Amino acid sequence: MSKSPISTDQAPAAIGPYSQAVRSGALLFVSGQIPLDPATGAIVPGDINAQTRRVLDNLRAVLDAAGANFSHVVRTTIYLTNLADFNAVNAIYAEVFASDPPARSTIGVAALPKGAKVEIDAIAVLDDQAPVES
Note down pLDDT in tens along the chain; length 134 residues: 789 999 999 999 988 999 999 999 999 999 999 999 999 999 999 999 999 999 999 999 999 999 999 999 999 999 999 999 999 999 999 999 999 999 999 999 999 999 999 999 999 999 865 445 44
Check: CB of residue 47 under 8 Å from CB of residue 118.
no
**In the chain, where the domains are located:** 4-125
Task: Please name the residues in contact with 13: beta carbons below 8 A apart, sequence gap of 6 or more.
Answer: 20, 38, 41
Q: Which ranges in the chain belong to alpha helices (H)?
A: 48-65, 86-96
Can you name the CATH fold of 4-125? 60s Ribosomal Protein L30; Chain: A; (3.30.1330)
pTM of the model: 0.93
